[in-house]
Chain A
């Protein structure tokens, strides 16, 4: 794998994760539990899709084959997507969405917090800009974890269950492959091992404050970074890519 290949792959990992989880959040539009949350969740979705656009645009430039952000978003099939598996998991009820978001946001924040030091100018600038948004995402999902965990019996149950379910996808945040190795050596990528203890500590604290129980099953479901996805991504792409695929000659 060349450094260019690695860099391209790394862009996809970052961009696809934001795009897919942002897309999932957008499914809530008009169906949120209360108007204020509709607005808040659309905001997060908007930020993430916006971030995805800028990384995918950069990915296209790195690749050098003239592919645009839209070519990459709309004309790649499942096996070529590099997002974390957690991002493609279904929304479920608002509790499940919040748990998924909390686990992702807390990682995302710590990740970008390191990426600001990247020797790649695009990444450092991108991280700095995105961080300003992601800090709000993390505050929002953390606040709801506390409210739901330490709210009513029902709400407690409605976050504990998805927490147990989704926990298996969190190991992937820190899974290192060939891409990381190449890019860490030249100061471009984040050393995931460095942020792992910080993430564990933050998540443990919030889970405790929320009177929830840390899942004990540490089995790690991996694959997203290599393009081996869960069954859900195919359906997301079928819906998302429908128009550009059905009308290949059209621009929108």
Chain B
């Protein structure tokens, strides 16, 4: 009996959380259209986020491209299909691996950072101080950050994709003596706009989710220093879950369009 009650409580609090998050998202859209737009803070956030995650995305992308190619090589060799390597790698990276891996990294790097930053601003009353200084803290802190993640994530995904493909090319070049031109010629032959556009749209949603959850968790952070840790941590956990849900929906929707 007790276990059932616990599960019901859990589901209730989860649904409540979803409700509050949707309300928060609604407020974001309402406030985005209200003047003045905090352009300077928005640019600062874009720069800061790019700066913080560029290296991480590059290293991960490079290793993924490298490992992915190394691992698939023996199987393709068996089938005598090594020449398909560039097409296979590029499609899987552009469609799926690039966006989701970059988004997960950014959830850990950017999302938790936002959660911790806004959380500590809440706990130390900096958000209240902004409010009495004639600034709408929601616009200044939340709207700018969500917009920045939404814009920056697709750019980081492009960048990560490019590095991953380069990593894959290095393997092919060393092991199969494929030239740079030949490799990327095949990559671009294999890719269609039908691969690129859904992936880009998906990345915008990923970026939005990262900013939204990070800001939500930080903005409503519980008092006390423990609250800041919880905010940062739960920002990452919730965002990661949300990313997979969005990914799932995106694949679904894309498939419908392909079938048409």
A and B physically associate = no
